[in-house]
Amino acid sequence: MKRPINELKQDIVFEAHIRGHVYKFHSTWGLFSPTQIDEGTKLLLDCVEPRPADTIIDIGCGYGAPGIPLAATASGGKVHMVDKDFVAVEYSKKNAAINGLDNCEVYLSNGFSNVPKEVKFDVVVSNLPAKSGRELFDIIIYDAKERLRSGGKFYVVTISGLKEFVKKNFKEAFGNYEKVKQGRNYTVALAVKK
């Protein structure tokens, strides 16, 4: 039986248990993984260990699934959450407020395109969607290298079918690559700016 349209237009609300904390998320149909934190993001969040004062950017933040827990962990730092989808940006803003986080800047940006040039990051994270295409991956990888501070870390999670592509491109851009964790369907990779 079909659900009524007015019901489908309501926010999807769920809680997620991440690293011993409970976060509340609002989402909507049309955003990636709208009813729960996806497997790849969970794997990514298991691997990233930000310091309390880090400046972090979440590229392709969606409704804030990676950025919100990272902002809570780096409570003395700042987390930039960017997405090219204005609906995702609005939900990330809402979720940052709902979870009581005032160290988040959420705005529209295709990769780093609208990120202020003077801002440098300690950590860059991204759940790279397989359908974005090689060209956008290349732009994000090289922009991440340019925008990281020395010793900064770039974590990506992708479907495992892209792990060799990520390895090759991390080695080309950064000169290093580490497979941090591999799950059933997803792989988390790390490059460090030397």
Identify the burial level of 69 via C-beta atoms within 10 angstroms of its C-beta, where 0-12 means exposed, 13-18 middle and 19 or more buried.
Answer: buried
pLDDT digits (tens, 9 = 90+) for 36-48: 999 999 999 999 9
According to the model, what pLDDT value does residue 100 have?
A: 97
What's the pLDDT score for residue 185? 95
What domains can be seen in the chain, in order of their start residue? Answer: 5-192 (3.40.50.150)
pLDDT for the residue numbered 129 = 76
Mean pLDDT (whole number) for 139-152? 97
pLDDT, tens digit (0-9, with 9 covering 90-100), for 150-189: 999 999 999 999 999 999 999 999 999 999 999 899 999 9
The whole-number pLDDT of residue 19 equals 87
pLDDT at res. 18:
94
Start-to-end CA distance of the chain, whole Å, equals 56
Token readout for 50 is 């930000």
Mean pLDDT score of the chain, rounded to an integer?
A: 95
Residue with more model confidence, 131 or 63: 63
